[in-house]
Amino acid sequence: MDKTVYDYILVRYGELSTKGKNRKDFIHLLLENTREALLDFSALTYEKTYDRLYIRLNGENGEEVAEKLQCVFGISSFSLAVKVESEIEIIAKTVLSLLQKETGKTFKIIARRKNKLFPMISDQINRYCASLILKNTSLSVDVNQPDIRVLIEVQNDFTYLMVKTYGGAGGYPVGIGGKALLLLSGGIDSPVAAYMTMKRGVKVECIHFASPPYTSSSAEDKVLQLAKELTKYQAQIRVHIIKLTDLQLLIHHELDESYEVTILRRMMLRIAERLAKTRKCNALITGESVGQVASQTLESIRTINDVTNFPILRPVIGLDKIEIIELARKIGTYEISIQPFEDCCTIFTPKNPVTKPTVEKAMKHEAKIEYGEMLEECFHSSRSVILKKENKKEEELF
């Protein structure tokens, strides 16, 4: 019985190749993030090089490892691999053994000879291996759209043979781009905004505004579920929960209904900016998409944004709802987001919210209420929940 099994995963770096002098930092962080994502597989060992990361399986299930690895940002692609001696007969026989386990009718051999002292050039390696396969299987060659692609990487000491290649998550390793604070609601958009920001190498913390008893514990649990789902891409996420009830009631009872949402969101930004600075975040993140709702017209965005000079990232600003939903389904947050629990932005929905608010009018409305002490109370009565990939949750007062 053939005993050829995959014993390595060969990881190809993503956009790291563009980073020049910072390359070592990127590779180091990618290795750390990969280790964190694969903690469940205790037998794995790792070797990093200038252009590859090699993961030795040591008996672990390669397919299961691959599933987890697809969520690690900073990886262009990766392949299950067999490591063999750099002798053409061994290479060809092992390739034949691997192909005999695959389904498909056509194949293509792609050899890369990194060891220039190897006695055969890449094309000769391709032909030698293909000849053995054609003699011993019913497979045929298709150089354009083969069912099976065989990668042969001849290095100085060993050769890696790969048949199963996976697309990576791309982007940069999470954390290499600093940290930002996400305004996380229970909706569809903000978790997608988190995912897109993480992909650019930015570590994410979250702030969630709740107004109990008008918002339920189920609504809060829903938000924590969303954050938990995102730990597939960032191993630990801190969610700051801010109690907004008294401030929201003041706005609701004392101010013009049409400006209620605008003023509430201005208050949220004030609190979020202060928390971001306290937590050493370099930007805020929102799930705003132009024109989706009354508070997301350009006039509304400008008026709400006026209370801060802090950078605000809006990763989904140019996407339509269908595109955002598709991404939410892809990352696993959609079914959680559509659970019917209200957040604080929907509990006192005005009948006719202003769609073109102005900064001047917003300031006039705010001047009618004393909100300074309430902002302080909101900030200091908050608590933090730390969610971790391995089904753990920690809670602390902020």
Measuring CA to CA, which residue among 269, 300, 299, 296 is closest to residue 285? 269
Q: How many CB atoms lie within 10 A of CB 100?
A: 13
Average pLDDT over the chain reads 92
Which value, in Å, is the radius of gyration of the alpha carbons in the chain?
A: 27
User: 181 — phi, psi (to 5°)?
Assistant: -110, 120
Residue 329 lies in a domain: yes
Measuring CA to CA, which residue among 281, 282, 289, 266 is closest to residue 357? 266
User: 160 — phi, psi (to 5°)?
Assistant: -110, 130
In angstroms, the CA 313 to CA 175 distance is 16
Residue 397 pLDDT > 60: no
Asked whether the beta carbons of 242 and 378 are under 8 A apart, the reply is yes
**Cα dihedral angle (327, 331, 337, 339), rounded to 10 degrees?**
120
- DSSP character string of 344-357: TTTTT--SS--SS-
Q: What is the pLDDT of residues 328-380, one digit of tens each?
A: 999 999 999 999 887 777 777 777 888 899 999 999 999 999 999 999 999 98
Domain region containing 322: 179-397
Q: What is the pLDDT of residues 135-185, one digit of tens each?
A: 999 999 999 999 999 999 999 889 999 999 999 999 999 999 999 999 999
Q: What is the pLDDT of residues 246-302, one digit of tens each?
A: 999 999 999 999 999 999 999 999 999 999 999 999 999 999 988 766 667 899 999
Asked whether the beta carbons of 397 and 386 are under 8 A apart, the reply is no
Compare 382 and 304 and report the one with higher pLDDT: 304
Asked whether the beta carbons of 116 and 158 are under 8 A apart, the reply is no
Residue 42 lies in a domain: yes
Characterize the bridge pairing of strands 179-183 and 284-285. parallel
In angstroms, the CA 127 to CA 110 distance is 10
Q: What is the pLDDT of residues 106-140, one digit of tens each?
A: 999 999 999 999 999 999 999 999 999 999 999 99
Same structural domain, 151 and 188: no
Q: How many residues does the chain have?
A: 398
Same structural domain, 142 and 236: no
Same structural domain, 232 and 153: no
- Residue 23 pLDDT class (50, 70, 90 cuts): confident
Distances (CA, A) of 263 to 162, 185, 191, 249, 299: 58, 17, 24, 12, 13
State the CATH number of the domain containing residue 103: 3.30.2130.30
Same structural domain, 231 and 305: yes
Same structural domain, 131 and 243: no
| Tokens matching residue 39 | 């903690």
Asked whether the beta carbons of 167 and 132 are under 8 A apart, the reply is no
Domain boundary among 170, 188, 205: 170
Residue 2 lies in a domain: no
Residue 80 pLDDT > 60: yes
Q: What is the pLDDT of residue 276?
A: 97
Same structural domain, 288 and 367: yes
Residue 1 lies in a domain: no
Residue 393 pLDDT > 60: no
| Tokens matching residue 218 | 């189920």
Same structural domain, 137 and 277: no
Residue 21 pLDDT > 90: no
Same structural domain, 107 and 195: no
Long-range contacts made by residues 129-135, C-beta under 8 angstroms, separation at least 24?
A: 129/91, 129/92, 129/95, 129/96, 132/92, 132/93, 132/95, 132/96, 133/95, 133/96, 133/99, 133/107, 133/109
Measuring CA to CA, which residue among 77, 75, 10, 7 is closest to residue 43? 7
Same structural domain, 250 and 159: no
Domain boundary among 142, 170, 198: 170
Distances (CA, A) of 132 to 94, 118, 122, 139, 159: 11, 20, 16, 11, 18
Q: What is the pLDDT of residue 292?
A: 62
Same structural domain, 34 and 125: yes
Count the domains in the chain. Answer: 2
Residue 27 lies in a domain: yes
Measuring CA to CA, which residue among 63, 90, 66 is closest to residue 4? 90
Residue 103 pLDDT > 80: yes
The identity of residue 182, as a single letter, is: L
Q: What is the pLDDT of residues 197-226, one digit of tens each?
A: 999 999 999 999 999 998 889 999 999 999
Q: What is the mean pLDDT of residues 39-50?
A: 94
Measuring CA to CA, which residue among 387, 382, 341, 335 is closest to residue 218? 341
Residue 341 lies in a domain: yes
- Residue 17 pLDDT class (50, 70, 90 cuts): low
Same structural domain, 46 and 154: yes
Q: What is the mean pLDDT of residues 234-253?
A: 94
Domain boundary among 152, 170, 188: 170
Same structural domain, 163 and 22: yes
